[in-house]
Chain A
């Protein structure tokens, strides 16, 4: 059974409520319908309910699969606003929130924030910037986490790592040039993400061009500092480095290069790149030369699961990302 099949199976056992603020979009509605009809999620379409119902029928879907939420319906909207502003530490007050909630993206995230949905799934009409801003404003960040970031899950044919052919890597998509504190946040978030999604015991390597002082310079200093911060913030997690990539994932190389005890060296299942130049190039190498399937990017660092799918994504990819998001949300509870 492939990793994606396993995740689909897990979703079915505990379907989560997913709010779709862009359901007028044909591909998004199809993905919501198919994942809902097959029992992986409970899809909630947020927007102009009449228009959404009409579109659903025009497109030949059984509307009973969906729950429709009309953003103009005052009673439910006011209930959501009341619940939201009562939560501590929220940025927006009633009036400003009501205005933002005229946008289905913000409305859906408010539903998620007050636990009327477990996931908000968007990104096909809204830009990544729109989704990240709404996420920061409405959902908020996890305590102690200083940046939004992402990880991807690579399924690499022929790779025999500590999780078989799978390796989680980050950040290859969001945080361009993290400082040491942000890099530590990326590692911590990545560990929490793989725990929630895959039930892995994370072993997280922070990589650079040096293994435990074999090289020197400011690029390495940043990674060393990040390892220190991450260990201080979350001593419960196995985060270690700085390692070269081979010392992180190969037991034979680790045995030669890492002259001390490490829970991570040689058996890392999570690899954290020092910046986005490395991360983006590395993922392309893994895909091009390793012929890997890469799932994601999965956004992390928010208080709850926020998902931004690619605007050009086909329905099959959207469905995969919906189900991954739902399983992450279930794992975070």
Chain B
């Protein structure tokens, strides 16, 4: 999976977990400011990443990512 495909996949998983339209999201989307939501949504996102990409991201690591792009970086590091 190349970087562009990974970005598209993560955006799809974020959209699903936060109940958003994927077309409204990009790698620059700020997770806390623009998506908000309870920590449970982040737990759901981390679980989806595990399910779909077979990558285990710690919740604290995911929660520390400011943007979707940063989250893609962290997932890429683990792949």
Contact = CB atoms under 8 A, between A and B. Distances in A.
**Do A and B bind?**
yes
Interface of A: 91-93, 95-96, 99-100, 129, 133, 136-137, 141, 146-147
B43 to A, nearest CB: 5
A171 to B, nearest CB: 15
Contacts of A147: 38
Nearest to B58: A133
Given A96-B47, A141-B40, 11 more contacts: A91-B43, A91-B47, A93-B51, A96-B50, A96-B51, A96-B54, A100-B50, A133-B59, A136-B40, A137-B46, A146-B38
Contacts, number: 30
Contact of A133 (B43, B48, B54): B43
A137 B38 contact: no
A136 B50 contact: no
A99 B47 CA distance: 12
B19 interface: no
B60 interface: yes
A91 B48 contact: yes
Interface residues of B, number: 14
A93 B38 CA distance: 22
Contacts of B38: 146-147
13 contacts: A91-B43, A91-B47, A92-B47, A92-B51, A93-B51, A95-B51, A95-B54, A96-B47, A96-B50, A99-B56, A133-B59, A136-B39, A137-B43
Interface in B10-67: 38-40, 43-44, 46-48, 50-51, 54, 56, 59-60
A92 B50 contact: yes
Nearest to A146: B38
A137 B47 CA distance: 8
Contacts of B40: 136, 141
Contacts of B59: 133
A92 B44 CA distance: 9
Nearest to B42: A136
Contacts of A146: 38
Contacts of B56: 99
Q: Give the residue among B39, B40, B59 with the most A Cβ atoms within 10 A.
A: B40
Contacts of B54: 95-96
B11 to A, nearest CB: 19
B64 to A, nearest CB: 13
Given A96-B51, A146-B38, A147-B38, A91 B44 contact: yes
Contacts of A96: 47, 50-51, 54
Contacts of B44: 91
Contact of B43 (A93, A100, A136): A136
A129 B60 contact: yes
A105 to B, nearest CB: 14
Contacts of B43: 91, 133, 136-137
B30 to A, nearest CB: 19
Nearest to A89: B44
Nearest to A181: B38
Nearest to A91: B47
